[in-house]
Structure 1
Amino acid sequence: MMKDADYLERFMDSVQYVSRMMKRNVRDQALPHGITKTQWFILRILWKRPCTIGELAEKLEVRSSSMSQMIDRMEVSGLVQRQTDPLDGRSKMVVLNEKGEEHIKAVSRSGIELLSVPFSQFTSEEKMVIVELMEKFKLNLSANFDQCKDK
């Protein structure tokens, strides 16, 4: 019978491999668009919803001043823009421009293409299980990380 440590080693190897392949794919697809990996992460976050500079900085674990400089560059490139927050006129929200949305859609399509063939090898039940287990693991890891950070 395998020990938890043995399972965890196998799990880490698998997750790291998948992560490397996805990062390589993002790099290969984003570079022709003139987008860095960090800019891609920002675009991906903003694709889900507009955010403040502070929220983006927190998600990428950088200082707000650093994020502000990144957003300045992305704004000059026409990928994003700052808009006044409709709920708080003193605050600015960062939103995707049409160009930013086109780029993130193109790079994301490529990521889906990379994963679609291996994912299609699973049965419907296996797809549901793997997604649910990964989402559960993500939540557990996040809760544990936050708990460790608070100590």
Structure 2
Amino acid sequence: MPNDTNKKSAMPEKHDLEAMSIFRYELRKFLRVSEEISNAAGITTLQYQLLLHVRGFPGRKWATVGELAERLQAAANGTAALVSRCEVAGLVTRKTDKIDRRQVQVHLTAKGERCLLALAAEHKAHYGSFGWVFGEKTN
């Protein structure tokens, strides 16, 4: 049970619980479909997520391992290992930053880009109630 000495909040009402339940249900359905789509393409869902976060990083087409770790909510060393597996699979490449040589940029390869775009199209078709992600109006 959460410690309510730090933060006072109203107890959730029935409609709040219903809304949370529906959200979790829809999220779990999407995650299950995502697993199926990724696995059918021969990659893991984490590999797909890494590709998505590399290409979808705001303002540019690459990301650092630290940025990817944050997006994946994972440890930097685990994310570096995931980048290595994607690199071996020919999906990404690492490039040393020209300004700050300590920084390593992760970029998609042509194969990674093709894989991402194909999988992202399939995922987008399954967003359903997640239309708000794309700025769609809900009724």
Contact 1:25 1:110 in 2 (8 A): no
In structure 2, give the amino acid aligned to 1:31.
Answer: N
Deviation at 1:71, TM superposition (A): 0.8
Deviation at 1:129, TM superposition (A): 4.9
The whole-number CA distance in structure 1 between the counterparts of 2:49 and 2:85 is 15
Deviation at 1:119, TM superposition (A): 7.7
What is the CA RMSD across the aligned residues, in angstroms? 2.3
Higher helix fraction (1 or 2): 1
Which residue is equivalent to 1:56? Answer: 68
The whole-number CA distance in structure 2 between the counterparts of 1:9 and 1:72 is 41
The whole-number CA distance in structure 2 between the counterparts of 1:67 and 1:119 is 27
The whole-number CA distance in structure 2 between the counterparts of 1:13 and 1:57 is 28
Unaligned stretches of 5+ in structure 2?
1-10
Counting matched residue pairs gives: 121
**Which of 46, 57, 68 is equivalent to 2:80?**
68
Which residue is equivalent to 1:113? Answer: 125
Which residue is equivalent to 2:15? Answer: 7
Structure-1-length-normalised TM-score:
0.70
Q: Which runs of 4+ in 1 moved over 3 A?
A: none
Structure-2-length-normalised TM-score:
0.75
The residue matched to 1:35 in structure 2 has which SS? coil
The whole-number CA distance in structure 1 between the counterparts of 2:34 and 2:92 is 19
Which residue is equivalent to 2:26? Answer: 18
Unaligned stretches of 5+ in structure 1?
121-126, 131-151
The whole-number CA distance in structure 1 between the counterparts of 2:66 and 2:26 is 30
Aligned residue runs from structure 1 range 83-94, under 5 A:
83-94=95-106
Identity %: 28
The whole-number CA distance in structure 2 between the counterparts of 1:25 and 1:62 is 22
The residue matched to 1:90 in structure 2 has which SS? coil
**Which of 38, 41, 66 is equivalent to 1:30?**
38
Deviation at 1:73, TM superposition (A): 0.8
